[in-house]
């Protein structure tokens, strides 16, 4: 029997592009410390600066804005900590506004900051996971230091109106951060046109290496060193440069920029083929999120009367890899907070599956899923209490 | 070359029962049950129904339905194999530990939420005895004392949660006076209380 491996969990992480693997492999030989003055050091530094320029071009900012980090979680934490310091130093702007559907690296940080007495508001989203600008307006005033809203959601794929939100944040004198991790390589991301002050991204979500990301910081905004102990990255983040990974994320950025349009269309077509196929073949399902404002490769579906972890594991036994918002898969009793915050019923959240497409998926992959998924749902529903 | 092959999420026995669950109540199958038990809820992500036929105070046959994760399916399937042929007394004494051991173990966080088969089976036996108008001779025997100072048992706590007499820990303490002497049992009672609340969807 032919063994299938169909990877539909690209929002969790992506495989490295073959050009990235090659570049990382070659850059591993550039062992000079990029901070050294000698030629080996300069070679490494030149490779890093090349990558910085590629990132800047991808997200439309100055190369000097790009700071390399270990990934978007670090970048997100850093932005909040910059403002935490401002507040600690007595800033009259002492409130942070974010949303209920941010990535855990913000969502958990919000809980932590609140427990430590900081004022953080989470603006709710509508049933599509979309921020209502009128609702957001109610959270904004001249005591707000920072507004942080993700560009596209990792679970349901909803794309937020970042340019409009940035405008509103600036109108009350607040700074704007967006976690663009899921949007990179899927939709155009532009720091300058949107006007955002801080932007986070992660290499491994767009075919780059794991453990490398970026915090892009616009000129003349609050800044504080987040790792002390060296002059790297303008003294903001100490630590010997991770040359190979930085080179890797740069190559990934070049590819993402070059192939954006084509890639975006391909992902949307695959997503739509799967959505229509599921709707035709499986009764009683609900597609979560927004159909209109959705990252092209993301499809989140709830299957009532079939539990998410069971669906995931039956699919895995057929070689299909997905993720679920079910509580069982998270090790807690609560299902996905993103789905609940988007008004998805708790039972529906337990039965949710996220299919996320990437550049290596094909129409045949979708056909295979459409062959294997319906009997799994049917079987689980027959087994389920009624 | 380094070997990166992983094991499956659960033990091979769990995998077998997940892939080939035993004694499921098939759609359309006519199963005239003498007792029916149901625990859990769709909202908490695990719900279970157990139907039993009783002959000579033995579980003659059993069918079940489960909404839940792989370990919920496997543990109910395992319970069904264990229970068929058992006396009502032995069946009533099947514990989550026995099911988990027979499955070759489950991850810690799965143990509490997904092993509900024993409780659904007890509920089915309770139902059978009630319908037959008989006393329930088993209930007291399986009780375990949790608060030793005030002699509060797990069965007592379970009943109070199930009947919604105790919806908060404060109410439970008022009703049972648990933890009012040495206080050693507090953590365990809190854990049990949360578990029963989850199981009975309170």
Decide if A206 contacts A14 (C-beta within 8 A): yes
The SS3 assignment for B55 reads: strand
**Range 252-311 of A in CB contact (< 8 A) with B:** 305-310
CA distance A240 to A248: 16
Q: What is the largest CA-CA distance in chain A?
A: 73
Which two three-digit tokens encode residue A299? 């499809």
How high is the pLDDT of residue A185? Answer: 96
Contact B68 A335 (CB under 8 A): no
Catalogue all structural domains in chain B, each as residue range(s) with its CATH number. Answer: 12-131 (3.90.1010.10), 143-199 (1.10.10.1100)
Question: A residues 306-335 near B, CB within 8 Å?
Answer: 306-310, 313, 317, 326-329, 331-333, 335
Of B21, B69, B110, the CB nearest to A307: B69
Please calculate the CA angle B84-B89-B91 and round it to the nearest 5 degrees.
35
- pLDDT band at residue B197, thresholds of 50, 70 and 90? confident
Whole-number Å distance between alpha carbons of A205 and A269: 20
Answer yes or no: do A383 and B43 touch at CB < 8 A. Answer: no
Confidence of residue A329 (pLDDT cuts 50, 70, 90): low
Which one is the CATH code of A6-14+260-380: 3.40.190.290, 3.90.1150.10, 3.30.70.240, 3.40.50.1970? Answer: 3.90.1150.10
Cβ-Cβ contacts under 8 Å, B113 against chain A:
327-328, 333
Q: Which residues contact B168 (CB under 8 A, 6 or more apart)?
A: none
Backbone angles phi, psi at B2, to 5 degrees: -70, 145
Distance from CA of B103 to the nearest CA of A (A): 17
3-state secondary structure at position B36: strand
Q: Are A175 and A86 in contact (CB under 8 A)?
A: no
Between chains, do B69 and A329 touch, taking CB under 8 Å as contact? Answer: yes
In DSSP notation, A297-366 reads TEEEEE-TTS-HHHHHHHHHHTTEE-EE--HHHHTSSS--HHHHHTT--HHHHHTEEEEE--TT--HHHH
Strands (E), A156-204: 175-179, 198-202
Per-residue pLDDT tens over the stretch A218-239: 999 999 888 999 889 988 999 9
DSSP conformation letters of A77-145:
HHHHHHHHHHHHTT-S--EEEEETT--HHHHHHHHHHHHTT-EEEEE---TTSPPPHHHHHTT--TTEE
Q: In sequence order, what are the beta bridge partners of A288?
A: A300
B1 by DSSP, 3-state: which?
A: coil
Q: What's the pLDDT at A230? A: 85
Q: What is the pLDDT of residue B4?
A: 81
Task: Tally A–B CB contacts below 8 A.
Answer: 72
B130 and B138 Cβ atoms separated by less than 8 Å: no
Residue A31 to chain B, least CA–CA distance (Å): 24
Per-residue pLDDT at A330:
63
Tell me what pLDDT residue B146 has. 85
What is the pLDDT, as a whole number, of residue B112?
65
Structure ipTM: 0.88
Query: Is the pLDDT higher at A303 or at B41?
Result: A303
The larger pLDDT score, comparing residue A328 to residue A258, is at A258
Residue B3 has pLDDT above 80, yes or no: no
What's the gap between Cα A355 and its chain centre? Answer: 15
pLDDT tens across A80-130, in order? 999 999 999 999 999 999 999 999 999 999 999 999 999 999 999 999 999
Q: Chain-wide mean pLDDT for chain A?
A: 96
Query: How many angstroms separate the CA atoms of B67 and B65, rounded?
Result: 7
Indicate whether A1 pLDDT > 70.
Answer: no
Model confidence at B1: pLDDT above 70: no
- Asked if the Cβ–Cβ distance from B47 to A385 is below 8 Å, we say yes
Give percent of chain A with pLDDT exceeding 90. Answer: 92
Contact B69 A328 (CB under 8 A): yes
Q: Which of A62-71, B80-89, B95-104, B107-116 bottoms out in mean pLDDT, i.e. has the lowest?
A: B107-116
Confidence check: pLDDT of A332 > 90? no
Find the closest chain B residue to A304 by CA distance: B42
Q: What is the pLDDT of residue A19?
A: 98
Beta bridge partners of B61: B53
Mean per-residue pLDDT, B43-67: 93
For B41-45, B60-64, B178-182, which range has the lowest pLDDT when averaged over its residues? B41-45
The structural domains of chain A, with segments of one domain joined by +, span: 6-14+260-380, 18-255
pLDDT tens for B165-194 read 999 999 999 999 888 888 888 888 998 898
A194-198, B119-123, B141-145: which has the minimum mean pLDDT? B141-145
From chain B, pick out residues whose CB is under 8 angstroms from the CB of A382. Answer: 24, 26-27
A346 vs B contacts (CB less than 8 Å): 43
Known catalytic residue at B113: yes
Contact assignment for B68 to A310 by CB distance below 8 Å: yes
Of all residues in chain A, the one with the smallest CA distance to B10 is A313
Q: CB distance B114–A328 less than 8 Å?
A: yes
A331 has a pLDDT exceeding 90: no
- Reported for B32-37, long-range contacts at CB under 8 A and 24+ positions apart, including other chains, are B33/B63, B33/B124, B34/B128, B34/B131, B34/B132, B35/B124, B35/B125, B35/B126, B35/B127, B35/B128, B35/B129, B35/B131, B36/B124, B36/B127, B37/B119, B37/B120, B37/B121, B37/B122, B37/B123, B37/B124, B37/B125, B37/B126, B37/B127
The answer, for B72 touching chain A at a CB cutoff of 8 Å, is yes
Task: Determine the average pLDDT of the residues in B86-113.
Answer: 88
* A344: closest chain B residue by CA: B43
The CATH class, in words, for A18-255 is: alpha beta
Predicted local confidence at residue B155, as pLDDT: 85
A345 contact partners, CB below 8 Å, separation of at least 6: none
Q: Which of A194, A191, A159, A160 is nearest to A268 (CA)?
A: A159
Is residue B147 annotated as part of the catalytic site, yes or no? no
What span, in angstroms and rounded, lies between the C-alpha atoms of B53 and B69?
26
How crowded is residue A104: how many other Cβ atoms within 10 Å of its Cβ?
Answer: 14
Nearest to B113 among A310, A333, A346 (CB): A333
- Other Cβ atoms closer than 10 A to A261: 9
Q: In B, which residues are within 8 Å of A336 by CB distance?
A: none
Q: Is B147 left (phi over 0), alpha (psi -120 to 50) or beta?
A: beta
What is the pLDDT, as a whole number, of residue B139? 78
Task: Supply the pLDDT for residue A326.
Answer: 87
The structure tokens listed for A364 are 């045949």
Q: Name the active-site residue from A61, A123, A294, A328.
A: A328
Tokens describing residue B57: 């105070």
Contact state of B45 with A385 under an 8 Å Cβ cutoff: no
């Amino acid at each position: 029997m032919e063994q299938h491996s169909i990877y539909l969990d690209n929002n969790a992480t992506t495989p490295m592009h073959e050009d990235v693997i090659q570049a990382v492999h070659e850059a591993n030989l550039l062992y000079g410390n990029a901070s050294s003055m000698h030629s080996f050091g300069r070679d490494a530094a030149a490779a890093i600066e090349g990558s910085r320029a590629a990132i800047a071009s991808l997200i439309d900012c100055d190369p000097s804005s790009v700071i390399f980090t270990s990934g978007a979680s670090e970048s997100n934490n850093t932005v909040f900590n910059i403002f935490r310091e401002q507040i600690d130093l007595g800033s009259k702007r002492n409130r942070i506004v974010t949303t209920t559907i941010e990535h855990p690296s913000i969502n958990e940080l919000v809980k932590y900051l609140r427990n430590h007495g900081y004022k953080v508001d989470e603006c709710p989203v509508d049933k599509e996971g979309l921020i209502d600008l009128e609702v957001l307006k109610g959270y904004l005033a001249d005591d707000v230091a920072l507004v942080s809203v993700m560009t596209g959601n990792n679970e349901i794929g909803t794309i937020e109106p970042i340019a409009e939100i940035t405008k509103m944040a600036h109108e009350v004198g607040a700074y704007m951060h967006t976690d663009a991790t899921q949007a990179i390589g899927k939709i155009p991301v532009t720091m300058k046109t949107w006007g955002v002050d801080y932007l986070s991204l992660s290499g491994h979500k767009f075919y780059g290496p794991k453990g490398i990301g970026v915090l892009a910081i616009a000129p003349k905004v609050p800044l504080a060193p987040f790792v002390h102990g060296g002059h790297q990255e303008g003294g903001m983040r100490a630590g010997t440069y991770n040359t190979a990974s930085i080179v890797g994320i740069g190559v990934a950025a070049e590819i993402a920029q070059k192939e954006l349009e084509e890639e975006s269309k391909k992902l949307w077509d695959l997503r739509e083929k799967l959505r229509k196929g599921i709707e035709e073949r499986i009764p009683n399902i609900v597609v979560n999120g927004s159909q209109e404002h959705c990252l092209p490769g993301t499809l989140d579906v709830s299957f009532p009367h079939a539990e998410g972890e069971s669906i995931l594991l039956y699919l895995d036994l057929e070689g299909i890899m997905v993720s679920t918002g079910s509580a069982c898969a998270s090790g807690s009793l609560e299902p996905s907070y993103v789905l609940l915050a988007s008004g998805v019923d708790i039972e529906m959240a337990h039965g949710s599956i996220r299919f996320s497409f990437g550049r290596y998926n094909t129409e045949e992959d979708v056909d295979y899923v459409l062959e294997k998924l319906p009997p799994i749902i049917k079987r689980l529903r027959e087994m389920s209490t009624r | 070359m380094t070997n990166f092959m992983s094991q499956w999420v659960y033990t091979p026995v769990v995998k077998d029962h997940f892939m080939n669950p035993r004694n499921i109540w098939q759609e359309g199958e006519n199963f005239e049950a003498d007792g029916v038990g149901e625990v859990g809820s769709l909202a908490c992500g695990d719900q279970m129904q157990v139907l039993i036929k009783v002959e000579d105070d033995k579980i003659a046959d059993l069918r079940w339905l489960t909404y839940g994760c792989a370990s919920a399916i496997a543990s109910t399937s395992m319970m069904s194999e264990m229970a068929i042929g058992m006396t009502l007394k032995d069946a009533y004494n099947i514990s989550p530990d026995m099911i988990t051991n027979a499955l070759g173990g489950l991850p810690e966080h799965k143990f509490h939420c997904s092993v509900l088969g024993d409780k659904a089976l007890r509920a089915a036996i309770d139902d059978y005895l009630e319908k037959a108008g008989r006393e329930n001779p088993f209930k007291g025997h399986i009780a375990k004392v949790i608060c030793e100072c005030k002699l509060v048992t797990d069965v007592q706590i379970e009943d109070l949660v199930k009947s919604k007499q105790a919806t908060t820990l404060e109410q439970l303490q008022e009703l049972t006076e648990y933890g009012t002497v040495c206080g050693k049992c507090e953590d365990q009672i809190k854990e049990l209380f949360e578990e029963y609340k989850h199981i009975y969807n309170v």
